[in-house]
Structure 1
Amino acid sequence: MKKTAILLLLAFTSLAAKAQITTPQPSPLSTVKQVVGLTDVTLEYSRPAMKGRIIFGDLVPFEKLWRTGANNNSIVTFSTDVSVAGKALKAGTYAIFTIPGETIWEVNFYTDTNNWGTPKSWDASKVAATIKINASSISEKVESFTIEISDLTNNGANLSILWDKTKVVIPFTVPTDTTVIASIDKTMAGPGSNDYYASAVYYLNSDRDINKAKEWIDKAISMAETPAFWQLRQQSLIYAKAGDKKGAIAVAKKSLAASEAAGNADYVKMNKDSLAEWGAK
């Protein structure tokens, strides 16, 4: 009997496992990724369908907070700071909550994205930006709720919400021009202190042209407003390897004083050891 009971249990478990059915979601999840200028923009939202229903003013009431889609929050992510309809918005991820009106919609970018539907308690401190946008009527019905990124330029695009015969276009701009100009200015100005420092240390540690390393470390130190003790330490090592013991000792003493002031015992010891090795008095 016991064996029979076990066999029946195994058979029931097997049938139960096979009975699991996967069906399509009524509001399937959509993910949209788009590069706008130099900014990565990502949309994640669920797409309910009309199914013969009257949408705005009925299924979605006017003048009430709407999740702007279905299921989990509809969210947008910007990899850089942007401006949405003239309102500044920091880089990050935001839930999109709207209050649809017959002619004007209020759009809120909300920092809490972990809601099923609208938040149980609306927190104004979590609203990163609020804008009001005109809604327009379109000729062709859009069966499935849609959020799209359209009308791309180097400096911006439109975040468009479409459903039924309603369209809401939210323009946003990205800092492409500012980013490119800053990059051009930096490149045309030549290497910075960190570039010279990193190159010099690499040459030191990889046994390359030590005189070139000495030239670069000198430039790095001269460009630094207050050279750090660890930068001076590397300069002293490069000087020593280049055969300039006198210069190495002078720089090591500076690094020792700076490391003592910073309370860094490791660098204090390393500098003292090197000074002793180089015959400092």
Structure 2
Amino acid sequence: MKSIIYAIIASLIFGTLSVNGQLRTPALSPGSTVKQTVGLTDIEINYSRPAVKGRSIFGPDGIVQYGEFWRTGANAATKISFNGDLSFGKADLSKGDYTILTKPGKTSWKIFIYKYESPNWSSYVEKKPLATLEVATKKLNTSVESLEYAIQNISMDTANLEISWDRTSVQIPIQIDTKTQVLKNIDRAMAGPSIFENFNAALYLHENKIELPRALTYIQKATKNENAQFFMVYREALILRDLGKQKDALVAAKRSLKLSEEAKNNDFIRFSKKLISEL
């Protein structure tokens, strides 16, 4: 009986420890995500938000010392991502992921921009930044309790990245060449469907055995392109065969074989040879 009681007590203790091992508590500096589209460019910022909690924040008596590197957040390095090229301050940046470190000062902050490689913010301190900016500080009338990143003053091709905490704020100008992006989109749309869009349309129609003449129109728009791929030409041969155009199908199949051999794709070399023998 005693052994049974001991076993029950042990299981209860172990169960309690297991539950405690999974205990979740609120983060002191919770993570946050900011998403904003400026023109045609999507910008996303992932950072952690420390709070004032009655403390002195910036300066000799603050938790962020003037002239010293700061992760400009808490926990991990802040990650700033965008899917198009833009200017961040005076720095021209290609689409991708970046992080910033700052050296706050009383009247201005230095901003150091790095390609994002790791959440470990201290790993960037010894690296050479992609660009360095200096922006003036702004004194706020009311205190911002939790560090805040925001994208403000948005137009079709400009915005400001605003970083605010306690009674201090800085703004980093963002500029995007939306006009060029839109003109490229217009040119692309006016030029008609791409080679792959024509191929996919033909593939759908042919696989479902519907409107084969239409499928042939689409596939030949793709295969007449000098960048036509072997699998596109093979599909043209299949569509021509199914339309009863044996002679044209044979020409396409031979072209498919040639392109497959150039691409060293053994599967389509085999497919093309088989189709040629059948034709």
TM-score normalised by length of structure 1? 0.82
Superposed displacement of residue 269, structure 1: 2.9
One-letter identity of the residue aligned with 1:29? G
Q: 2:119 aligns with which of 114, 117, 122?
A: 114
CA distance in 2, matches of 1:57, 1:30: 25
1:236: which partner in 2?
237
Tell me the CA shift for residue 193 of structure 1. Answer: 2.5
Stretch of structure 1 that moved more, 203-212 or 24-33:
24-33
Q: Which residue is equivalent to 2:164?
A: 162
Deviates more, 1:190-199 or 1:158-167: 190-199
Question: Could you report, residue by residue, the CA deviation over 1:60-111 in whole angstroms, capped at 9, with x for unpaired residues?
Answer: 2111111212232233222333220121223333332101122221112332
Change (3 A) 1:207 1:67: same
State the distance in 1 between where 2:28 and 2:220 align: 67
How do 1:4-83 and structure 2 match up within 5 A? 4-10=5-11, 12=13, 24-58=26-60, 59=62, 60-83=64-87
Corresponding residue to 1:124 among 127, 130, 144 = 127
Match of 2:257 in 1: 256
Q: Which segment drifts farther, 254-263 or 151-160? A: 254-263
Give the unaligned 5+ runs of structure 2: none
**Does the aligned pair in 2 maintain the 1:65–1:99 contact within 8 Å?**
yes
Identity %: 35
Distance 1:217 1:16 in 2: 65
* Pairing 1:216-231 to 2, within 5 Å after superposition: 216-222=218-224, 224-231=225-232
Q: Which residue identity does 2:164 align to in structure 1?
A: L
Q: Deviations over 1:168-200 (max 9, x none)?
A: 001113454333322222112222332222222
Q: Give the number of equivalent residue pairs.
A: 274
The one-letter amino acid of 2:257's match is: L
Code of the residue aligned with 1:228 in structure 2: it is: Q
What per-residue deviation string (whole Å, max 9, x for no partner) do you get for residues 243-276 of structure 1? 2212122222222233334433333332232222
Alignment equivalent of 2:136, drawn from 134, 137, 153:
134
1:172 equivalent in structure 2: 174
Note the residue ranges of structure 1 that are not aligned, 5 or more in a row.
none
Partner of 2:148: 146
CA distance in 2, matches of 1:26, 1:202: 53
Counterpart of 2:200 (choices 180, 198, 201) is 198
Secondary structure of the corresponding residue to residue 67 of structure 1: coil
Please tell me whether the aligned partners of residues 75 and 113 of structure 1 are also in contact (alpha carbons under 8 angstroms): no
Question: Which residue identity lines up with residue 213 of structure 1 in the other structure?
Answer: A
Partner of 1:92: 96
- Relative distance call for 1:95 and 1:121 in structure 2 (3 A) is closer
